Structure 1
Amino acid sequence: MTLSGKAAIVTGASSGIGEATAFALAKAGANVALAARRTERLEELKTRIENETNAKAIVVKTDVTDKAAVEMLAAKTKEAFGSIDILVNNAGVMLLSHIKNDLIDEWTRMVDVNIKGVLHGIHAVLPTMLEQNTGHIINISSVAGHEVTRTSTVYSATKYAVRALSMGLEKEFSTTGLRVTNISPGAVESELREHITDEEVRSNLGNKKRTLLHADDIANAIVYAVSQPEYVNVNEIIVRPKLNY
């Protein structure tokens, strides 16, 4: 299916997977609403999209934990492009820690961004997508939503929740024109690790040598999913780095 003229919203578009996905969608022909809090980065991405692709882009400062802000994001996207065809629920935080260190404010932050933020996105686009009887919701989970480590307890809980939301949405709207895809990336080279404050976790991550995916690898998976014929629903994609044994 061609993406030419389609309208996409990408949250967390100021860096990493979100930035790469927004550019990849634009390169494939979609007009893109760039959503994040760091608007200076979004403006740079908007310029790049308009200089290097044939797509249009708008910048919408958005905190996904704010329901009204996400509703405004959806409204501005529809006003600019006439429809909302794709939502990439990408905004997320990965604040790994040991439960014994009791970083409860960080646990709450992950729940607010990783779960409530996804729900706000779904809430904001569903009326338009149902009215159109077409649309594609992409939820970014994680391999941490399939496996739990000693330091990913709360983060994994939020990403398991994202997978559950994806599965429920797919079932609820299976007889409509809406499609839902859950994307579970493995370790991706990004700034997420820089936000970890638990010193035990930071030191252990620093000692590990691992192969990391690039943000483009996930962006390519997303473009693949949304480009399938309308009768094809790619329910879930897990993308892991290849292990060198």
Structure 2
Amino acid sequence: MKFPYTIKLYMMIVENTKPRRGRLHMDYALFIVIGALTSFVGTLAGGGGLIGMPVLLLTGVPVHQAIAAAKFSNMISSFSSFFVLLGEGKIGWKQTAFIVPISLGGGITGGLLASSLPEKTMTAIAIALLTFALSLQFFRKKMTQQRSAVFSKKLYAPLYGISVYDGMFGPGQATLLMYTYLSTGLDYLSAIAFTRFQTFISCFGAFATYLYAGHVNWHIAPFLGLGSVIGAQVSVRLAQKLKQEHLSLILNIVTFLLIIQLVFKMIG
């Protein structure tokens, strides 16, 4: 008497798993596309996370898993784009040595503090910093662009603070780094190189904390990472073909759009 019910239950399980498998493959493709688009925008001007994070959350990914996957993908893509610029001679290993302890410590600190500040507070901080950075672009005197710059110790505090911010969540983190490095007189491609390297280190530190806490979903992170590498490689090569004026315009436009999106997010 129980045998037919067992068969019926088995058939129900088989039928229900078919669409899930198909949907899973669609999700993998979606994660690759999200990663590529996020990394493409993020490499050129920062702010890619404000594209990828909302989409991940809309697909039903829990917030801590979404942040962990974003840190994993950003860690891989930022190093891949940095490696291209390293090969092009836009930056050297010795120049990046001072960044490692600052960004690693900041990323770990931010990851550990991820749940201590409300999201609205984080958003308000982002709006204030991005608005300040954008205003500096319009009011500061035009600086002579150069491949190398002397980084004073006064720069260490803001770089550490941005890495902490990145480890916690970090909407617009790369954009803030871009403005910080450009303010020293670096040319745009060198600023991208420093930004991508620091993002790699801070994301590595933050990802380690999320991995330890068990928030990493390995059905999402690798595919998001694959897409992010594709987007980073395309954008970093495009950046080398664009003029300084065009790149600065992209940065300003993206920053303005980020501020608007964050304001609506905070109000909502």
- After TM superposition, the score normalised by the length of structure 2 is 0.30
- After TM superposition, the score normalised by the length of structure 1 is 0.32
More strand by percentage: 1
| Greater RCO, CA 8 A, separation 6+ | 2
